[in-house]
Amino acid sequence: MHIEPERHRAPFISLTPLIDVVFILLVFFMLATRFGQFNDLPVNVQPADGTNKPDEQWLVVQVETDGNLTLNGVSFTPDAIADRLDPQKNKVWVTVSPDANLQQALTAVDAIKAAGVKDVQLELLP
């Protein structure tokens, strides 16, 4: 009886698992990536003893619960802050009402800094 030896076939490598792994990595990196730009906000924390109040050199801007700002009794949006600030004043004291959230306060601080003010103090009211 004559038995023929098996022919050695070339191994077949499937690319499907490789494509699956690459797709999973792509999905992972898409979900793990943050596309926003984050900036550091230097914070100088001082004790709340009530002695550090703004004097006449400071402009006092109040952040309301709806996100609007108040300066000298006039309410306006953070986009209009550049028109309202006095160019000679380089110090702004920002007080945040108790019901306003932190994002509204930081939006106001960013708008004030974008208007050219160098020194901004943030006060959170109890």
Give pLDDT tens digits for 68-106: 888 777 888 878 877 777 655 667 777 777 777 888 888
Beta strands in the chain (DSSP E): 59-63, 69-71, 74-76, 91-96, 119-124
Tell me the CATH class for 59-124: alpha beta
Q: How far apart are CA 61 and CA 73, in angstroms?
A: 10
Look at strands 59-63 and 119-124 and give their pairing.
unpaired
Q: What DSSP character marks residue 111?
A: H
Is the model more confident about 23 or about 41?
Answer: 23
Spell out the domain ranges in the chain.
59-124
How far does CA 72 lie from the centroid of its chain? Answer: 28
Residue 46 has pLDDT above 70, yes or no: no
The pTM score is 0.55
Q: What is the pLDDT of residue 49?
A: 56
SS3 69: strand
